[in-house]
A = this chain, B = another copy of it.
Amino acid sequence: MIIKSNIQRVLRYQHCVSNFYELGFDKIYSHNLAEAVGVSPEQVRKDFSEFGIRGNKRGGYDIHQLLDTFQDIFHGKVDKRTILIGMGNIGSALVKYRGFKKKRISILAAFDIDPSKIKGTYGIPVYHFDEVDKFINENCIHTAILSVPVVSVQQVTDELVKSGIIGFLNFTPAILQVPAHVVVNNIDLYLELESLFYYIRTSEHRNINCKEDKF
């Protein structure tokens, strides 16, 4: 049976369970997680059961056991490694982003078409994109973060697929064409912001006192 439940939801549970652990709790109930993550308690239990996570009736879930299980599911004890392509605004920020390091994800190196232009210190090497194939093979990298300009992203992707990359975190608005075995997670900043404008416009709850209502 293939697990298809939303992994991201389970990652949110993990985050929340860690918080409870930090606060000194030993057990947690589905309704605690539900409230914290913003889903229903039934959803939490269904998700857990898909991963074989069992609790105790009336006793909830053991936090230590939960954390161990999450570590198994997400390989929490190994350091994960990736590379980043494109050291523009977004790329440079991601290299410095602490949220990855905290969770034992390292960006091993960054690549750019013109590394000489890159200013500032990032704590990781910045190579020319020509070096990427060699680096991927020598370091056995499977994933890449794409923060290149949209015009070149498909070409860059094609080359990275050839070098063996099978997972992309794509920050460009392009819908990447990739072979079936390759996974792409898209983060389209414009899409998220524009859809937010749409939602607030249609939800009709904004401040009525605004004279100049232009959004």
A residues in contact (CB < 8 Å) with B: 3, 7-8, 11-12, 15, 36-38, 73-75, 78-82, 89-90, 92-94, 96-100, 102-103, 105, 140, 142-143, 145, 164, 166-169, 173, 175, 181-183, 185, 187-203, 205-207, 210-215
Contacts and interface: CB of A to CB of B under 8 A. Distances in A.
Contacts of A210: 140
A197 B75 contact: yes
A60 to B, nearest CB: 20
Contact of A75 (B140, B175, B201): B201
A189 B92 contact: no
Contact of A199 (B7, B98, B211): B7
Given A7-B199, A166-B207, 8 more contacts: A8-B192, A12-B191, A74-B197, A103-B190, A105-B197, A140-B207, A142-B200, A185-B199
Contact of A89 (B75, B93, B166): B93
Given A142-B215, A193-B82, A199 B183 contact: yes
Contact of A142 (B38, B187, B202, B206): B206
Contact of A166 (B12, B181, B185, B200): B200
A14 B145 CA distance: 25
A7 B187 contact: no
19 contacts: A8-B188, A8-B191, A8-B192, A11-B191, A12-B191, A74-B198, A75-B197, A82-B193, A100-B193, A105-B190, A105-B193, A142-B207, A167-B200, A168-B196, A182-B205, A183-B199, A185-B195, A185-B199, A187-B192
